[in-house]
Structures are given as C-alpha cells and as structure tokens.
Structure 1
Amino acid sequence: MNNPQLKHLHSVNHTNGVINSVVTNVLHDKRSKRSIFLKWLRKLHGWIGLWGAALGLLFGVTGILQNHRTILKIPAAQAQETMLQLPLPMPAPADAQALANWLQHELAFDRVATKVRSEPQKTVAWGDKSMKQPAHWSAVFSSPSVNFQAEYWLGNNFVSVKRSDNNIFASLNSLHKGNGVGIGWILLADTVAGSIIFLSLTGVLLWSLLNRRRMIGAGIGLTSLAIGIALAWQAM
C-alpha cells in the first residue's frame, strides 16, 4: 500500500461506496415515504367512498329521474292533491305571520312555514275598468312527504289550503333538492358533496402517482372538464 496510485484508487473506491450507500438510503427513504403516503391515500379514498356510497346512490337515482322527467316523461314522482277551506278563528289573525302560526297549529304540522308572503291591496285592470284587489296572504309548509299551500284574501272568513301528499319517488326528489328538510339533512348532504369532490381529487392524485403517463391523464381530465363546462353553458 506504499504505492500512491493504489492509495488514491482505494480512497476513490471508498468514497464512491459511501456516496452510493447514501444515495441508496435516500432513494429507499423516498420510496418508503411514497409507499406509506399511497397506502394512507388509498385507505382514505376507500373510507370516504364508503361514507358517500348510500347517499350517493340516492342522489344519483333521483338525479336521473329529474334529468329525464320532461323528455322521457317518467311518471315515477307523483303527488295526490286535495283542497279544503278552514274557517278563520275569532278574532282573525292580524297579519300573514300570525295566520301562518295559526295554520301550523290548526294543521298539526311540526314545522314552521318555509315561506310567508303578504301582498297589499292594489288596483288591477279588469277589462276596460279598474278594480281594487284586496290584500293577499299566503303561507307554504313543506316536508319531503307532504306540502301545504295556504291562501287568504282579506275580507273572507276562510283560508284555502291545498295539500299535496308525495309518493316515495316524489319524497326522494324533495330530499335531493332539499325541499322541506332541516339543517341536519342539509349538512349531511354537504358532507356527501364534499366527499365526491374529495374522491375526484384523490382519484386523480392516485392515478398520477401510480401511472407514469401523467400527461395523458392530465389531458383526459382537462378535456372532460372542458366538455362538462361547455355542455353546462349550452344548457343555460
């Protein structure tokens, strides 16, 4: 080992060995971290998908029914309507909100009115004459399964109420659109919408990490997004 060239060669080989070892360890750590991240992302993707599966099925089926209710005229969602007249109490309600409160008790409805309107007296055209139209009060009570629409013209001694009883498909459509539901259902539906967004993002991320042809995937994703925006714009 007294030869300087041999000493230099031994030193270079030792240095290269150390560098190769460090590079190998770094690559191993990166692969290990990437593997752990992918495993965690797959599990999270699966659990979020399981959470939104049941309600996603509900929103998917009712969405199809709503999309094709005009063209295909699917008669799935139906409502049975009945009319009645309720005599006013004495003394009569003082305003539209008081009328809505009385109707809620009289109809034994467990929810407050979703819409209360009060239109003042006004002059309207009647042929070649003008007539005074009395004030008009209205109130709407809604739930996924039943709806009440009440109308009262000031001066009458009764209130006209139209009741609509929804079948199962109409009730599901009401849930889909959020008609007559409480804050709990709205927040639950928001979590489903959030899970769909999360599944879309994690799905693209998983595909890009597991597939080397990332540019093709990015092109497909951007193309589908552009087509969706164009179709939505055309439908408006």
Structure 2
Amino acid sequence: MKDTFKHKGLRQKLVEVVKNKGITDEKVLDGLSKIPRHLFMDSGFLDHAYQDKAFPIAADQTISQPYTVAFQTELLQVKKGDKILEIGTGSGYQTALLCVLGAQVFSIERQQELFKKTSKFLPSLGYRPKKLIFGDGYKGLKTEAPFDSIIVTAGAPLVPKALLGQLKIGGRLVIPVGDQVQTMTLFIRKGEKEFEQHEFGEFRFVPMLEDKN
C-alpha cells in the first residue's frame, strides 16, 4: 500500500472536518494531516479511511474516530519530549500521532494479536514509540513512572488509582469513564493526593479490559 496524492487530499478534507468540529490545536491538526490512516485499517475499509468515523480492526477492537483522537490529544497539551503513557495501543493510530508530536510514548496493549501486529507495523512506517508493552493497562507502567501525561483509549468503568499515582505533579490523565457510554474526563495532578477534575461530554469506546491471565 502506498500513500498517494489522493490520500493526502482526502486527509486534508478530514482535517477540515475535525477543525470544523472544534479542534483548534494546530500541531494536532498538522499531525493528523501527516498520518496515512488508510494504512492502519484492513484493506476492505479503505473507502472509509478518511471519514470521521471509528471502524473495526482485529481482536474486536476499533480504530478511533479521528475527531476523538484529536480531542483526547488536544486535552493532553503535548509538548515535545513529554513522557506519555498510552493505555490501549490498538491499531497504533493514536500512538503515531503522539510520536509525530515529539512525545516519548510508552504504550500498553493487552490483546496479543494487536500487540504483535502493531509492534512490527509502527516502526515500518517510521513511528518509533519508546516502548510497546503487552500487559494490563489498569496497572499502568510503574517502572517508567512518573509521566507527563497518560491517555486511555478504551472505556473504563472506573478510574484506575494506579494511573493517577503514576502522573507527575502537574501531569494530565485523559480517560473516558463509564460503562455503555463514557464521559471524557481530564484529571490534572495538583499535589500528592490532590487532583483537579474536568468533564467534556459523552463518547463511545470499546471497553477497557483487565488482564485475565
């Protein structure tokens, strides 16, 4: 599969759609314009790659809607060199955007099939996360903590305490909280035990799974 002028044109249109929905961070929009989303999807869905929709990928998961990816990323306020933990690598599309923004990305995936695929796929496109981990996102990654920010790309029934504990003071956790429908929630760590909480409307995500092994 190649990335053609046609794909680039379709991407620009997608960026305009996302912008019109309220995303204002130019770095995020520029990042979206650079990432060949069609390469992250099964070939049967190529016609849909540049629509602002979520689509199924392997292991009963989805590649998130570009607007949602942009929305969560904008809330993170990513700066170059930020150490970011991503819970749910999935297709690697969100991971790629964080890499484009210059973050050091540590990403955890609990679906073996997706983990194996994405571990090879991302570097083949030139995206180099600091570390991809096969494991339980509920536990976070204590060995690399603290993080400048943490992003959860699956619906969590509750906010894992481990993730709050692995944020730097001033760090940001963006997480969709809820069962059937999730509320996009931002936590900013203000002190050892003090967190500021903001809510940003309803979204739908696949559920965040605990490691049952």
TM-score normalized by the length of structure 1: 0.19
Using CA pairs below 8 Å that are at least 6 residues apart, which structure has the higher relative contact order?
Answer: 1
- Report the structure number with the largest CA radius of gyration: 1
Identify the structure with the greater helix proportion: 1
Identify the structure with the greater strand proportion: 2
